[in-house]
């Protein structure tokens, strides 16, 4: 049984969620393809939103499992962290799936909660 290769989004993510997804990508596969800065001395990564605000996030990621995603061999990463934008503090959990052969991200799901 194979999963659909692509599905449209059910809800449009906001700019902070999109920025956090970029930060997750850069933490797992740091190849310079996003506008996320290299980690600061304290491990915090940052990126700038379209409106000029800065998102700063501290996170940790670890491979969760070797999986099959659709028909592709992949690695699933569990990511958790905290982020700050202006006076807003957030906690987030994410799951990222990376294709083992192409090193492309096949899926990133993120849940952001205000704290």
Q: Hey, where are the domains in the chain? A: 15-114
Which of residues 112 and 65 earns the better pLDDT score? 112
| CB count in 10 Å sphere of residue 81 | 20
Strand spans (E) along the chain: 45-48, 54-69, 72-85, 88-99, 105-114
Task: Please determine, for residue 84, whether its predicted confidence score (pLDDT) is greater than 60.
Answer: yes
Please check the confidence at residue 61 and state whether its pLDDT lies above 90: no
Q: Which residue has the higher pLDDT, 31 or 74?
A: 74
3-state class of 3 per DSSP?
coil
Q: Higher pLDDT residue, 83 or 28?
A: 83
pLDDT tier for residue 9 given thresholds of 50, 70 and 90:
confident
Q: Are 99 and 106 in contact (CB under 8 A)?
A: yes
Look at residue 93 in the predicted model and tell me its pLDDT. 96
Instruction: Tell me how crowded residue 19 is: count the other CB atoms within 10 A of its CB.
Output: 25
């Amino acid at each position: 049984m194979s999963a659909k290769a692509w599905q449209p989004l059910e809800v449009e993510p906001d700019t902070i969620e999109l920025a956090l997804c970029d930060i997750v990508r850069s933490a797992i596969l740091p190849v310079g393809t996003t506008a996320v800065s290299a980690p600061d001395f304290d491990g915090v990564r940052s990126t700038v939103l379209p409106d000029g605000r800065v998102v700063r996030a501290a996170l940790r990621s670890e491979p969760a499992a070797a999986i099959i995603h659709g028909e592709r061999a992949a690695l699933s990463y569990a990511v958790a962290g905290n982020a700050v934008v202006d006076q807003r503090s957030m906690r987030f959990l994410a799951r990222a799936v990376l294709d083992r052969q192409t090193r492309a991200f096949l899926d990133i799901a993120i849940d952001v909660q205000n704290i």
